[in-house]
Amino acid sequence: MSVFNSMKINASGLTLERLKLDTISSNIANVNTTRTEEGGPYQRKEVAFQEMVKDQYNKYTKRQEEVTMGVKVTGILEDPDNMRLVYDPNHPDADDEGYVTMPNVNLLDEMVGLIEAQRSYEANATALKASKAMLNKAVEISKG
């Protein structure tokens, strides 16, 4: 694996974690949103992703091998399950029985996800910085 491949992998990780942070922020911001443009309460969103794999010829083993090239986002999914019902007959979105359907966003879960995404972002940034330092050192050595 070249230094450039590792940089691409880290860059894709940074992009993914940034999108996760944005999605979690949206979930937190809409924790009490009972009416959306689509109708109904806000539905928790989650980022779906998968590993990017590329077939590559290995000149040492003389075989085609799958090589990871990072991650790619496959979509942002909405979770329609586990909506909360809260009794509040004075709420404008209350049903005939006085219950309001609230978003399925759990602040504790979102905060854990936020910290996890932040730490993963930092790890990818650190690895990218290390790859950059190695590349700079290689250039410096080749000059001398």
Has this prediction a pTM greater than 0.75?
Answer: yes
pLDDT of residue 106: 95
Domain boundaries, the chain: 3-143
pLDDT of residue 138: 87
Mean pLDDT of all residues in 72-91: 94
pLDDT of residue 19: 98
Mean pLDDT of all residues in 126-143: 90
73's enclosing H/E stretch is strand 63-79
pLDDT of residue 66: 85
Residue 1, pLDDT > 70, answer no
Residue 87, token pair as written in the block: 């009794």
Give how far Cα 11 sits from Cα of 7, 16, 45, 111, Å: 6, 9, 23, 24
pLDDT tens digits, 34-53: 999 988 999 999 999 999 99
What amino acid occupies position 56? Answer: Q
Mean pLDDT of all residues in 26-33: 96
Mean pLDDT of the chain: 92
Q: How many CB atoms lie within 10 A of CB 81?
A: 8
